Amino acid sequence: MKKKLKVIFRFLVTITLILYILTKIDLSKLFITLSEINLLLFFIASFLYIVSSYISTLRWRLFIPSNSALTKGSLFSLYMIGCFFNIFLPGIMGGDVVKVILMRKMTGLKEAIASVFIERYIGFFGLLLLGFIFFFIFYQDLPKNETIYLVPLTFVSFLFGTLILYLSGKISFLRDIKNYIFRFDRKLFYKAFIYSLLVQLTVMISVYFVFLSLNVNIKFYEIVIYLPLIIILATLPISVSGIGVREWGFLIFFGGNVGNEKALAISILWFLSITFASLYGGIEYLRFKDFINVHYKK
């Protein structure tokens, strides 16, 4: 019953936000904007998303047990499978659950959860840190309204949440993750952090190409500052695949600069570029299931 209520709640949030957004735009202008897309630049954005996923795989591989049967290629398949399921599942982290389910027989359940958690955590840290740094560098050029202060507030909240997790010793799950993390050399985390910066910059360049595909002028630093907040919002499991939340975020942070119709069009095209790139994960899911059935039959 609780699961059904959660699903209903997410659909209601998605529909409510979509209806709200429709009151803020002119549909005819939106369709005209979408019809002016440069398909080459759109496909470049999709390709860059795949590149960012491959770099994420290299980061994730650092925290996979060395005795695991997972190769770099199979990990990339798993990562793309997670991206594929993110299209349908709540928030943008539902695919992580699928990755854990698929890899648990090859690494162990705790190891699978811990490795996915660490990879995702370092990714968020790199994402928010970039936004935080660019916020202070370009503060004088930003519009002075309440929303811009969400950037440092979110970063500080993330650090505070990290401290709470670190100090939590009574919850066995968190204790197991901490023990798993401390198995690795510090140099490994530095390398993972560099990968994270590369991942996030690649994603931001991908979004920049989506802007260019509609011939919308935007300063790159604005994407670096605001995109982390939009991604964090879309990560929350309160809507279907982040739909509605992501579009609302684009309207809030970019609408005042480029116009609501263009901001919404860019949000839609970014989601479509990710969806197009993630279709590869659907093919890999079928292949990966066969691999597990052959090598890990009970």
Closest CA to 255 of 213, 216, 228, 224: 216
Residue ranges of the chain with pLDDT lower than 50?
Answer: 292-298
**Cα separation of 235 and 220, whole Å?**
22
**Cα separation of 298 and 232, whole Å?**
39
pLDDT digits (tens, 9 = 90+) for 109-148: 888 888 888 888 999 999 999 999 999 999 998 887 888 8
Task: Enter the tokens of residue 37.
Answer: 């897309």
Long-range own/partner contacts, residues 253-258 (CB < 8 A, 24 or more apart): 253/147, 253/226, 253/229, 254/218, 254/222, 254/226, 255/24, 256/143, 257/143, 257/218, 257/222, 258/211, 258/216, 258/217, 258/218
Q: Are 90 and 237 in contact (CB under 8 A)?
A: yes
Q: Kindly report the CA angle at 42 between 39 and 48, in degrees rounded to 5?
A: 145
Neighbours of 233 (CB within 10 A): 21
**Cα separation of 58 and 44, whole Å?**
21
Q: By CB neighbour count within 10 A (0-12 exposed, 13-18 middle, 19+ buried), where does 174 fall?
A: middle
**Cα separation of 274 and 284, whole Å?**
16
Q: What pLDDT is recorded for position 194?
A: 95
Task: Enter the tokens of residue 295.
Answer: 């090598």
Q: Are 152 and 135 in contact (CB under 8 A)?
A: yes
Q: What pLDDT is recorded for position 211?
A: 96
- Per domain, the residue ranges of the chain are 39-295
pLDDT digits (tens, 9 = 90+) for 10-45: 888 889 999 999 899 999 999 999 999 999 999 999
Q: What pLDDT is recorded for position 205?
A: 97
**Cα separation of 109 and 273, whole Å?**
32
Q: What pLDDT is recorded for position 282?
A: 87
Q: What pLDDT is recorded for position 294?
A: 38
Task: Enter the tokens of residue 161.
Answer: 């949440």
Q: pTM score, two decimals?
A: 0.88
